[in-house]
Structure 1
Amino acid sequence: MLYLEHVNLVVKDISRALIFYKAAFPHWRIRGEGKSTWSGKPRRWLHFGDDQLYIAFSDHGEQNIRDNSGFQVGLSHIAFVTDELAQLTQRLKIAGFIGEEGDGSSGVRSNTYFVDLDGYEIEFVEYTSEEISVRNDYTQTTC
């Protein structure tokens, strides 16, 4: 078996970063936290998630991340599947975040992109079908 366990994001301030992620994932919790060093620099770390998936945050970030509208090598975005895109979008809007609706694929999926306070782009996708062949129909959209 192989599955994604966590994503590790370097941020400037973990408490500030959690504003976005707590609004997006109200059912998640802080799984653990502590202090350590990374390449000789002190840092605070925190794992936020559920029993299967979490985001690891470290607060030793010094610079801004890549410009998503540019062409630098690096992470473009992370995508999460939801069955409540409208409610999730509303929670993030109340928390002060404005999403940009994606192209999706009419009748197959809807998606919205948000940018967190550190500049990471997070996509939320809602599928209209449980059928894998329908979900993986790329004839009407681009990624």
Structure 2
Amino acid sequence: MIHLEHLNLVVADIPSTLNFYRAALPHWRIRGGDKGSWYGKPRNWVHFGDDYQYLTFNDSGEGQNRELSGHQVGLAHFAFVTSNLDALIARLTQAGFPIAKDGVEDPYRKNVYFVDPSGYEVEFVEYLSDLPSQRNSY
């Protein structure tokens, strides 16, 4: 079996990024972090997650993230599954992060998109069925 262990993201600011992901994923924690360099440029990094998966945040970014409504090559979005989308929305909006766009209406799932402080679009999905044929209908 293969599963995704981590995503390594270059961000504008680690503390503001942590504010977003702590609100979204309150059961996650900082697993570790340090200072280093990437191709000769100093950077700080943090691993934020649980015992099995995490996000790496690096603060050595330059410039802006890709335009999300554009067609440039790059990351469009990534998604997390939640068991309570309404509670997640409440935590993020209370922390000052507005919904970027609503998902499509579907009888078997609810979803919503937020944009984190570095411009990454993050989808959150709550499945309303345990049946793969319903969860994965397109």
TM more than 0.5? yes
Aligned residues: 137
- Report deviation, 1:101: 1.4
Counterpart mapping for 1:47-86 below 5 A: 47-86=47-86
Q: Are 1:109 and 2:98 matched, yes or no?
A: no
Q: In the aligned structure 2, how far is the partner of 1:119 from the partner of 1:79?
A: 14
Greater than 2 Å deviation, 4+ residue runs: none
SS of the aligned residue for 2:75 comes to coil
| Percent of pairs with identical residues | 57
> Unaligned stretches of 5+ in structure 1?
139-143
Q: In the aligned structure 2, how far is the partner of 1:81 from the partner of 1:136?
A: 13
Partner of 2:42: 42
Counterpart mapping for 1:1-143 below 5 A: 1-99=1-99, 100-105=101-106, 107-138=107-138
Alignment RMSD: 0.7
Alignment check: 8 A CA contact 2:77 2:122 kept? yes
For residues 14-53 of structure 1, the C-alpha deviation after alignment (integer angstroms, 9 at most, x for no partner) is 1111110000011100000001100110000000000111
SS of the aligned residue for 2:125 comes to strand
Q: In the aligned structure 2, how far is the partner of 1:133 from the partner of 1:92?
A: 30
- Report deviation, 1:104: 4.1
SS of the aligned residue for 1:23 comes to helix
Alignment check: 8 A CA contact 2:12 2:117 kept? no
Q: In the aligned structure 2, how far is the partner of 1:37 from the partner of 1:97?
A: 31
SS of the aligned residue for 1:22 comes to helix
SS of the aligned residue for 1:51 comes to coil
